[in-house]
Every structure is written in structure tokens, then in C-alpha cells.
Structure 1
Amino acid sequence: MQTTILYIGRDTEITAVMNRLLNARPEWKGICVCTDDEAISIFKEQSIDLVLLGNGIDPECEEALRAKLLAIKPEVKIIQHYGGGSGLLYGEIMTALNS
């Protein structure tokens, strides 16, 4: 069974890298976007297991985004990912999914 991960970041180049990293693992399906509106639209249409918040999201936007996502699906896990190697990313994702 694939785990669907929604990554939301503001930098298009980093978002492209995250898309490549998330979709490199057959057990993950990564969906990567740069805007809150796009993220919410996808979140409403697809079954998302985990949300990763990337850098560049200011605290006010992050709070509002979390509130909107949790209002749609209260049980979704939302974690922050600000960078690091693919090993760190894997560890963060697996910790979130197993907690």
C-alpha cells in the first residue's frame, strides 16, 4: 500500500527536489505544491496520509494552513521539514507515520 505525502513549500526548486525524493520510493506517492490554495484543493480531492511543511511558510500562514487541513481531516499528521539529506527525510516521515 502506498503512503500519499503532500509537501507544501514556497521554493519551486526545492519543491521539485522534494517531488523527486518522495517519488523515488515505491511505497510513497509524493505530491508537491507551492501554494496553499493548491494544497487545500488536492487535500480535499485525494486521500493524504501525511503533510510535510517546507521552508518559506511564515508562522501566520502555517497556523492558518494547519487549521484548514485539520478541519478537513483532523487525523492527518502534519510535520515540518526544512531540509537535510534523504536519510533525514526518510527518518522524519517514518517517525511521523509510526507515531
Structure 2
Amino acid sequence: MQTTILYIGRDTEITIVMNRLLNARPEWKGICVCTDEEALAICSVEEIDLVLLGNGITPDEEEKIKSNLLNIRPGVKIIPHYGGGSGLLYGEIMTALS
């Protein structure tokens, strides 16, 4: 069974890279968006296992996103991811899912 990971970031180019990295692993299904509205719409129809909050999200936006996502998917894990290599990404995800 695949783990579905939603990445929310503000930088389109980084979001494209994250999409490639998340979907390179057969055990992961990565969905990557740049807006909160897209993220909320996806969470309304997809079973999301983990949310990664990326670069460009202000602290106020982060709190609002977390609150809105948890209203839709109570208990979903939400963690920050602000960069680093694919090894760091893998470690963050595996730690969050364990």
C-alpha cells in the first residue's frame, strides 16, 4: 500500500522537484501544490498520510493551514520541510510515519 504525502510550498520550481522526489519511490504517492486552496481540496477527496509544509509559508499561514487540514483530516501528521537532500527528506518522512 502506498503512503500518500501532500507537499505544500510556495515556490513552483521547488514544488516540481518535490513532486519528482516523492514520486520516485514506489511506496510513496506524492501530491505537490502551491496554494492552500489546492491542498484543502485534495484533502477533502484523498486519504493523506502526511503533509509536508515547504518554503515560503509564513508562521501565520502555517497555523491556518494546520487548523484547516486537521478539521478535514483529524490526526494527519503535518511536519515542516524546508530543504536539504533527498536523504534528509527520506529520514524526515520515515520518522514522521513511525
What TM-score comes out, normalization by structure 1 length? 0.98
Partner SS, residue 29 of structure 1: strand
The aligned residue for residue 96 of structure 2 is 96
**Shift of residue 74 of structure 1?**
1.4
Q: Deviations over 1:35-74 (max 9, x none)?
A: 0000000010101000000010001111000000011111
Tell me the SS of whatever aligns to 1:75: coil
- Residue identity in the other structure for 2:5: I
Cα RMSD between the aligned structures? 0.4
- 1:39 and 1:74 map into 2 onto residues whose CA distance is 15
**Residue 21 of structure 2 corresponds to residue 12 of structure 1:** no
Corresponding position of 2:83 = 83
Correspondence for 1:3: 3
| Residue number in structure 2 paired with 1:31 | 31
Instruction: Please tell me the residue identity of whatever aligns with 2:48.
Output: I
Percent of matched pairs sharing the same residue: 78
**What residue in structure 1 maps to residue 67 of structure 2?**
67
CA distance in 1, matches of 2:63, 2:37: 14
Structure-2-length-normalised TM-score: 0.99
Q: Which amino acid is 1:79 matched to? A: I
Equivalent position of 1:22 in the other structure:
22
How many equivalent pairs are there? 98
Structure 2 alignment gaps of length 5 or more = none
